Structure 1
Amino acid sequence: MNRIIKYIINEGLPITFIVFYCVGLVLYFSPSTHDLFILITPYTLVLVSAAVFSHHKEWNLKTTIVLASIFISSILIEIIGVATGKLFGVYTYGQGLGIKIVDVPVIIGLNWVFLTYASNGIISKYTSNNSLIIVGAGVLMVLYDILLEKAAPLIDMWMFSNNEPPVNNYIAWFILALLFNWVIQKFKIKTNNRPARWLFFIQFSFFIILVIHHIYIQK
């Protein structure tokens, strides 16, 4: 019985994520529920993020301040980016991420927090070297963004003026990823969170399926 309980605790959430995103694919691909998928996307992102962070092992004031700082600063940077077009290129947010502040969805801050936290946890699993963790997590976040930029317009998250993000978008992403991961390492925030690592790769796989469907099947 103890073994079963331990298995459910360790494996239950990742399996739930897989089922959750498979249902999402069904909703996305079905014409009758496609709009529903767009509508509930921000709420599902909050839900899965809450599930992930409920498994964080050391919640304290320091962790809260660090993650809140990444959340707030990323939103402010996005606001500047949207308003000026100088940081990431010229782009606008759609309705797929919910409530906005100055044309920027609030949930985008949560996305930056999750990606920083999860990518840091993935690289930290294989090395304890601070520099390698910071750079490795930064590279991982840029790879994620390269795919996400293809999927985002499909689910009404955001769109660039020329339908393709400029090179400086990825440069800005990498610089911010390095900065945020440096903060995580500087303040020794523990990111050893198995559900976070699983969710990162499940989302990555989800976006791959959307992009492949769009390129090779829908067209």
Structure 2
Amino acid sequence: MHKINQYKLGIATFLAILFHVCGAIGILFTPYRDWFIANTPLNLLLMGVLLIWNQAKPGMVFGLFAVLCFMVGMGTEMIGVNTGKLFGCYQYGAVLGPQLNGVPWLIGLNWFVIVYTAGIIMHSIHIWIEQRYEEAGKPLSQRLINASLVVDGALLAVGFDWVMEPVAEQLGFWHWEGGQIPFYNYLCWFLISALLLGLFRVLRFEKANHFAVHLFVIQSLFFLTLRWYL
């Protein structure tokens, strides 16, 4: 089983690096920029599939968490796009594919990917920290651990969004009114991510997925590169 998991991790990581490196090069340095941007939905869908494929012991509870992330993501974005009461005043372009009430279906998947990867990273860090404190004979309180995962994970998700936002607007994923990204967007991201990470902490499913860590790093580097050079 360990060899199978390592095999899956290797394939997924290779494909993630390949697609993101090719995408960055294609957008920045080739005359086929529009083609690479137009195929963004394929990349997002593939990364979501690879993430789920690498989930250790996927089951109904994990599926429930994924569906809840998708539904909350889609629902809050619909409120934002159609009323401006969440995130701010913005509209999605056609790049991300078919939409429901002004929100691309892939945005729901993207919410799951970002929240889940942030949760896995913080969960892994917490396990390491807990072990160190237990070895020192100073176990941490469960309340502190729970609060830290939710708050720190939400900050990690917001940090990713901060890196991504200017790039996404330049690539035509979505457009902010007046071209300015409001602070309210990041506040909403924090609160909604914290809510979903609270579910991540409470729901009992296997929280082991090395590819989640790899994907978060790869996507962060991808958007940082584009943010620097675009």
Query: Do both share a fold (TM > 0.5)?
Result: yes
Q: CA RMSD in A?
A: 2.0
**Number of aligned pairs?**
213
Paired position in structure 1 for 2:38:
39
Is 1:88–1:165's contact at 8 Å kept on the other side of the alignment?
Answer: no
Change in CA separation of 1:4 and 1:60 when aligned onto 2, cut-off 3 Å: closer
Structure 2 SS opposite 1:96: coil
Q: Aligned to 1:130, which of 125, 146, 156?
A: 146
1:3-58 deviation digits (Å, cap 9, x = unpaired): 99876444342233112211111221245311111211011110111011101112
Q: Which amino acid aligns with 1:161?
A: E
Q: Which amino acid aligns with 1:94?
A: G
Paired position in structure 2 for 1:77:
76
1:52-74 deviation digits (Å, cap 9, x = unpaired): 11011122222212210110121
Q: Which amino acid aligns with 2:222?
A: F
Instruction: Flag structure 1 segments of 5+ consecutive residues without an equivalent.
Output: 215-219
1:114-149 deviation digits (Å, cap 9, x = unpaired): 111100000111114222111111010010111111
Paired position in structure 2 for 1:154:
170
Paired position in structure 2 for 1:114:
113
Displacement of 1:98 in angstroms is: 1.0
Is 1:81–1:89's contact at 8 Å kept on the other side of the alignment?
Answer: yes
- Is 1:57 matched with 2:73? no
Displacement of 1:94 in angstroms is: 1.1
- Is 1:163 matched with 2:206? no
Q: Which amino acid aligns with 1:138?
A: A
Is 2:28–2:229's contact at 8 Å kept on the other side of the alignment?
Answer: no
Q: Aligned to 2:202, which of 186, 206, 211?
A: 186
Q: Which structure exhibits the higher relative contact order, with contacts defined as CA atoms closer than 8 Å and separated by 6 or more residues? A: 2
> Counterparts of 1:191 and 1:82 in 2: how far apart (Å)?
32
Is 1:88–1:170's contact at 8 Å kept on the other side of the alignment?
Answer: yes
Paired position in structure 2 for 1:197:
213
Change in CA separation of 1:43 and 1:9 when aligned onto 2, cut-off 3 Å: closer
Is 1:123–1:133's contact at 8 Å kept on the other side of the alignment?
Answer: yes
- Is 1:94 matched with 2:100? no
TM-score between both structures, scaled by the size of structure 1: 0.90
> Counterparts of 1:172 and 1:5 in 2: how far apart (Å)?
39
Is 2:115–2:193's contact at 8 Å kept on the other side of the alignment?
Answer: yes
Equivalence map 1:200-215=2 (5 Å)? 200-214=216-230
Change in CA separation of 1:24 and 1:188 when aligned onto 2, cut-off 3 Å: same
- Is 1:28 matched with 2:27? yes
> Counterparts of 1:13 and 1:45 in 2: how far apart (Å)?
13
> Counterparts of 2:9 and 2:216 in 1: how far apart (Å)?
16
Is 1:93–1:159's contact at 8 Å kept on the other side of the alignment?
Answer: yes
Instruction: Flag structure 2 segments of 5+ consecutive residues without an equivalent.
Output: 128-144
Percent of aligned pairs with the same residue?
28
